[in-house]
Each structure stands twice: as C-alpha cells, then as structure tokens.
C-alpha cells in the first residue's frame, strides 16, 4: 500500500545551482560504483577458485562491454574520489553554507565545482592513456 504523505516540491521550483549537479553525480556514481564493487568481489573469488574462473573474469573485463564499463567505472571512481574529498572539506566547515552556493555571491564555488568535474574527466583520460601505453599500444 503506497504511503500517502506530503512529498517534496517539484524540482522545477528551484533555481539552478551547481550543487544539484554535484549531488546528483555523487549519488549516481556511488550507485554505479556499488556494481563495480561486485566486479571486484567477482575478480577476487574467481582468482581464488580456478584458472578457468579467472579466465572467464578476464574475458569479461577484456570484452567490449567490459571495457566500456571499466572506463565508466574509472571515471565514476575518480569523480566520487575528487568530489568526496571536497565533500569532506565541507564536512569540516570549509566553504559551507547557503551563500557559498549562490553564483552571484560565490563565483569561486561554482568554478571549483566545474573544476572538480573537469579534473575527474582529465584524470580518467590520463589513466586510460597510461593503461594503453602500458599495453604497448596494442588493441584494447
């Protein structure tokens, strides 16, 4: 039976702030990383099981869908990591508060927000360039 209680106002009534993007991305990447955690568990269990089990795991990671997922997991991890460190700074009170979230009052806050997103993308590309170089430039 659905719970009939007042719900939050529709999102459309709020003025756009970068917190919305940061918060949404942090939660979505966190959700996606939980699936990635299961991949880590699969890898460890496969390694402990047998060579065949490990080969099945390695085959999945090397497949096209596996590579796409690994790329997305790399970015998700790096964004969640970068923004998570920023979040910890907010937790100890650095740059925290409603005024800091307003573009007119605190343009730096917005720039840092976009900067962290850009940093996570740059780091992801860097990691994958290093990986491809390490593989001798061969086909991924």
Partner 1 sequence: MSTYPGQDGLRTPLKVARGNGASGTGVHHWWLERVTAIALIPLSIWFLFLVGGLLHATYPEVLASIAQPVHAIFLIVLSVCLFWHGALGLQVIIEDYVHTRWLEVTLQIALRFGAVLAALASVMAVLSVWLTGTGYY
Query: Residue 139: which H helix or E strand, with range?
Result: none
d(CA 91, CA 38): 29
| Token output for 16 | 């756009």
Choice between 55 and 63, CB closer to partner 1: 55
1 contacts partner 1 (rule: CB under 8 A)? yes
65 Cβ partners below 8 Å, 6+ apart? none
- How many chain residues are in contact with partner 1, going by CB under 8 A? 35
> Would you give the DSSP letter of residue 106?
-
88 contacts partner 1 (rule: CB under 8 A)? yes
| Contacts with partner 1, residue ranges (CB under 8 A) | 1-3, 5, 27, 30-31, 33-34, 37-38, 40-41, 44-45, 47-51, 54-55, 74, 77, 81, 84-85, 87-88, 91, 127, 130-131, 134-135
């Amino acid at each position: 039976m659905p719970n009939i209680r007042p719900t939050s106002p529709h999102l459309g009534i709020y003025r756009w702030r970068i917190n919305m993007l940061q918060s949404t991305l942090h939660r979505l990447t966190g959700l996606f990383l939980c699936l990635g955690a299961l991949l880590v568990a699969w890898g460890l269990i496969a390694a402990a099981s047998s060579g065949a089990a490990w080969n099945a795991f390695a085959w999945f990671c090397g497949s096209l869908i596996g590579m796409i997922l690994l790329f997305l997991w790399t970015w998700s991890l790096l964004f969640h990591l970068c923004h998570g460190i920023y979040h910890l700074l907010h937790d100890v009170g650095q740059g925290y508060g409603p005024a800091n979230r307003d573009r007119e009052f605190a343009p730096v806050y917005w720039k840092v927000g976009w900067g962290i997103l850009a940093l996570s993308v740059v780091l992801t590309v860097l990691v994958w360039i290093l990986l491809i170089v390490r593989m001798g430039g061969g086909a991924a």
